[in-house]
Structure 1
Amino acid sequence: MTTKPFLQPLDRVAIALMLILSLLIGLLMLQGDVVSSSVRDFSWENQQIGADDISFSLTFSRPMDIKSVEENLKIEPPLAGKFSWAGRRMLYSLLTPAPYGTNYRIQLQDAKDRFADKEQTKRVIKPFTSQFRTRDRVILYIGADQQDQGQLVLYNLSSEQKKVLSPKDLVVMDFKPFPDGEKILFSARTANNQDLLSAQLYTVTTGIPAKPDTPTEPAGKIDLILDNKDYQNLKFDLSPDGQTIVIQRGNKNNPGDFGLWMMPTTSDSREKPTAQRLQSQPGGDFMITPDSKAVAVAQGQGAAILPLQKDANKPLDFLPQFGLVQAFSKNGSQAAMVKFNTDFTKELFLVTNQGIQKPLLKTTGSILSCQFDPSLPTLYCLLTQLVSQEQYIEQPYLVAIDLKTGQQKPLLVLPVEQRNVQMSLSPDGLGLLFDQVVPQTNPTPSASTTLKTDDGEAIATSNLWLMPLLPISDTAISTIRPEKLPFIGFHPRWLP
């Protein structure tokens, strides 16, 4: 009887491998950790960002020495911001929106992980480099020359490309861009109809994708959103999230029957979204709140905040001392409101969600429009002052108001005859668009009179201007002069 060997060949191989692995592990332990830390994820890598993108994150492979990372992180061109940390994740929050039309490069090298000093090693992070860019600087306006009269025009200032979006048989009256920039909501009447109350609502594509390298529809695709068969479409607003439209409508068969209607921009079913009337008291000017859940409307002797639901008879808030909401800050914490005084003057107030009501200015003229700077310290307003009480002649001017100090900085005084002026603040807060409409002196019923202001005045031509902006505290702000753009148009707006 024979006995089997104590170890089989396979056993000997396994034992040899175990010994080798144990030796290698021992050598690694003697040498210490030689693997360099690295950036595992950058949230803006090769992305296109907009004014709503206010922070990016870097995620590291191991805990880092915070000071060495913050000292060695470089962004070109520079973007001011502040750091915050959560474990291996670093967050960098911008103090102001990144300027549009710019390519950025981010770099990190020579940063150490948390254990490098304790282990007395010179080990540093694996060098990291990446890129991102901001959206192009794009403006929209209504054409006023013979070539694109009454049409919605898009011009890309970054690439110097022009697109006419709407057809010639429609005269555009007002428009609001969707937040992603892919579509524009606009009201228009047919070119052969001079009735300013005959507008219908449409959308048109811009051909600009919400994100780079994503498919999008070509520019100029028109869709009818709301007709005027039974109701006149007077005014409209698009919610900041692009999901809801609020329209002021009047019943064609009953002139006294008018009110606010609401409709979604998208539908889960195959049927087109339909408008539903808000059950509320009639009101005047209105504006959807920044959270897209309510609408501020001039109602009676004050301003009401109504919920965006079918039954809106119970206001969320009512401010009896103010007659109009001019603007909301982006985060909804502040609003610019107008008070109409018994002596026929108007006062502009800063109203906060903490209950503070701070007077900013008083004028004998009008407060036409206001917009908050994206980073909040400044409010830009288009105002008028009364220069002739007998003939009631108003002179428009632009002013910047420091919301912390109340300091007013006049930017530009416009000619007396330029009463119909509109302005638009760029998403990055670095530029102000405004128009100068020249009215028809002796309007005649011809093709040249198809363009009209909101007051029904016939337009002969109109110029567009771009004013660069600096912080209100900068002494150079008084030396800034607007630049006349090579377009004939009016009602300028920036694409978000």
Structure 2
Amino acid sequence: MIHRTINRKSIQSLDRIAITLIAGLTIVIAILLFQGDHSVPRVRSFTWQDKQIGVEHDRFVITFTRPMDRTSVETNLQINPPLPGKFSWAGRRLVYTLISPAPYGTEYQLSLQKATDKYTSSQKSGAILQPFNAKFRTRDRAFAYIGVEGENSGQLMLVNLSSPEPKPIVLTPPDLVVSEFKPYPQGDRILFLANDRNSQRQGTLQQKLYQVTTGIHTNPPDEQSVSQEPAGKLKLVLDNKDYQILKFDLSPDGETIVTQRVSRRNPGDFGIWTLQPNSSPKPLEGQPGGDFLITPDSQALAMTQGQGLAIVPLTGSQDQPLDFLPKYGSILAFSRDGLAAATVKFNQDFTRSLFLVNTQGTEKELQRITGSIVDAEFDPTGEILYCLITKLVTSEQYQEQPYIVAINLKTGETKKLLEFSPNQRQVQIDLSPDGIALLFDQPLITPQPAAGVSDAVRTDDNAAIITSRLWLLPISSIKTTEASITPQPEELPIAGVRPVWLP
């Protein structure tokens, strides 16, 4: 009986202690809730912090520890140099979308101070955001080209304009003569087609497909950093043992290579092949091949087919094209988002028309000329189309005079940027990924055969290139409202052809 009484007293004592603790904690919680949250709001994450961005990175996200007063954040967010953009919100996440791509080769500082949270009055402590500072940069401004003079003739070269000393760097060995190349999406590697120098001298086609590192290292947001390999590391991608390689394209995601090949044993075995990483080439069934271009989503191939252009899937059945454009004889370029394409129509009156075709079915004629439409490139925003066009020159001999124009796709306004001398049709242009400069070459050619140029770099029609200068044309000013502003080209101290910017 005494034992039971002691147990009851112990239990009652424990109950009183527990009730007292619960009551005390309840009072403390009530006091904290009444006084509000005194923690300082902070930036939890910034997606571009210490990263290197490219043209494909058009927005960043800032996540806060607490809901913020949106006006105070938008007012106090500073980016130096300025990057105009638009704000949008999703709870504690701020999304800032750039209006135009960030110029390459630039370091940016982002700061956010004096912003306040959403619920706490700015007169109370803890309402003002803890000051936040971060930095990020864009990719290096770099380009590759093919050398044409001296010991570098036929070699793939690289110039990094963002380096302290932007001197040409040799990427390929002297026994290879490069004819065509495409950079990978991170700019860390280049895929190229090359003939060995002895075959070049003999005039035989022995081209193989190679890959070489550039020494360019990137640290993109939400992706793994590319390997820190030095420039010039060579790798054979596809040999020519059974098939001669005529041309190729590299998908925008860098995962698919499309080649046009012909069998050495059977010339009738001619067609398009696809090549994926760590796999053997596979023929694109039922596609004999013509001019082709991989679509921006890396899922399909636009190619000439009969009297038109076919869009053919790269995987699955190719029996039926995804789309067919019967009026057009070639495709020049896609916009970066894949919603529009620049195509060429060959008219019955022997003129050529440049058309803008979009995914909504709209077809708009931009130019009708008597010469040739050599090339076209969309600017990153998809608002301007830069074109290399030729016009016929009245003379005793047939001559074409090339010129570069910029076409505003919204207004239809055309502005001539630069005109070349007649019969310089071999000029090639390339638009920088940030859309602020054009590279072009001016090759001096001689019909073959010519003494001393047996292993020289050659044009598409097999003329030997004796020398060539590279030029840089700044074009950011053409978006201004002043029609009188005409950019002036700058000659680079480089002898080369086919300049291509790294992505």
User: Which residue, 222, 231, 234 being the options, matches 1:219?
Assistant: 231
SS at match of 2:374: strand
The reply on whether 1:333 has 2:339 as its aligned counterpart is yes
User: Which residue, 59, 62, 70 being the options, matches 1:58?
Assistant: 62
Inter-partner Cα distance in structure 2 for 1:417 and 1:205: 36
Counterpart of 2:497 in structure 1 is 490
How far has the Cα of 1:444 moved from its partner?
2.8
The reply on whether 1:261 has 2:286 as its aligned counterpart is no
Counterpart of 1:92 in structure 2 is 96
Contact 1:469 1:477 in 2 (8 A): no
Inter-partner Cα distance in structure 2 for 1:281 and 1:61: 56
C-alpha distance after superposition, 1:123-172 (max 9, x if no partner): 21111111100000001000112131110001100102432110000000
User: Which residue, 410, 413, 425 being the options, matches 1:419?
Assistant: 425
How far has the Cα of 1:29 moved from its partner?
4.7
Question: Which moves more between the two structures, 248-257 or 142-151?
Answer: 248-257
Inter-partner Cα distance in structure 1 for 2:461 and 2:447: 15
CA distance 1:122–1:308, change in 2 (3 Å): closer
Counterpart of 2:402 in structure 1 is 396
User: Which residue, 37, 40, 51 being the options, matches 1:33?
Assistant: 37
SS at match of 1:348: strand
- For 1:426, the aligned partner's letter is S
Counterpart of 1:468 in structure 2 is 474
Counterpart of 1:199 in structure 2 is 207
The reply on whether 1:352 has 2:344 as its aligned counterpart is no
Inter-partner Cα distance in structure 2 for 1:399 and 1:196: 38
Inter-partner Cα distance in structure 1 for 2:85 and 2:391: 39
How far has the Cα of 1:446 moved from its partner?
2.8
- For 1:167, the aligned partner's letter is P
How far has the Cα of 1:249 moved from its partner?
1.3
Counterpart of 2:488 in structure 1 is 481
CA distance 1:345–1:389, change in 2 (3 Å): farther
SS at match of 2:492: strand
CA distance 1:104–1:476, change in 2 (3 Å): farther
For 1:148-297, what aligned pairs fall within 5 Å after superposition?
Answer: 148-159=152-163, 160-194=166-200, 195=203, 197-211=205-219, 215-264=227-276, 266-267=277-278, 273-297=279-303
User: Which residue, 372, 391, 413 being the options, matches 1:366?
Assistant: 372
Inter-partner Cα distance in structure 1 for 2:58 and 2:470: 30
Inter-partner Cα distance in structure 2 for 1:34 and 1:96: 39
Inter-partner Cα distance in structure 2 for 1:127 and 1:301: 63
CA distance 1:430–1:192, change in 2 (3 Å): same
Query: Would you say how many aligned residue pairs link Structure 1 and Structure 2?
Result: 489
- For 1:482, the aligned partner's letter is P
Inter-partner Cα distance in structure 2 for 1:207 and 1:14: 68
Inter-partner Cα distance in structure 1 for 2:226 and 2:388: 38
- For 2:493, the aligned partner's letter is P
Inter-partner Cα distance in structure 2 for 1:196 and 1:108: 63
Question: Which moves more between the two structures, 245-254 or 332-341?
Answer: 245-254
Contact 1:383 1:398 in 2 (8 A): yes
SS at match of 2:173: coil
Gap regions ≥5 residues in structure 1: 268-272
Counterpart of 2:116 in structure 1 is 112
Inter-partner Cα distance in structure 2 for 1:385 and 1:74: 48
Inter-partner Cα distance in structure 2 for 1:223 and 1:14: 74
C-alpha distance after superposition, 1:330-369 (max 9, x if no partner): 1110000100011111100000100000110011111111
Question: Which moves more between the two structures, 337-346 or 24-33?
Answer: 24-33
- For 1:487, the aligned partner's letter is I
SS at match of 1:75: strand
Inter-partner Cα distance in structure 1 for 2:315 and 2:130: 54
CA distance 1:158–1:476, change in 2 (3 Å): farther
CA distance 1:439–1:142, change in 2 (3 Å): same
- For 2:482, the aligned partner's letter is T
C-alpha distance after superposition, 1:425-449 (max 9, x if no partner): 0010011000000113785343565
How far has the Cα of 1:258 moved from its partner?
1.8
C-alpha distance after superposition, 1:213-259 (max 9, x if no partner): 76422221111111222222111100111111111112233334321
- For 2:272, the aligned partner's letter is L
SS at match of 1:475: coil
Counterpart of 1:270 in structure 2 is none
Counterpart of 1:384 in structure 2 is 390
Contact 1:448 1:460 in 2 (8 A): no
Counterpart of 1:436 in structure 2 is 442
SS at match of 1:67: helix
Inter-partner Cα distance in structure 1 for 2:239 and 2:126: 71
Contact 1:72 1:108 in 2 (8 A): yes
- For 2:470, the aligned partner's letter is L
How far has the Cα of 1:306 moved from its partner?
0.9
Gap regions ≥5 residues in structure 2: none
SS at match of 2:485: helix
CA distance 1:461–1:196, change in 2 (3 Å): farther
Please report the RMSD computed on the Cα atoms of aligned residues, expressed in angstroms: 2.6
- For 1:175, the aligned partner's letter is F
SS at match of 1:133: strand
User: TM-score, normalising length from structure 2?
Assistant: 0.91
User: TM-score, normalising length from structure 1?
Assistant: 0.92
- For 1:113, the aligned partner's letter is D
CA distance 1:214–1:193, change in 2 (3 Å): closer
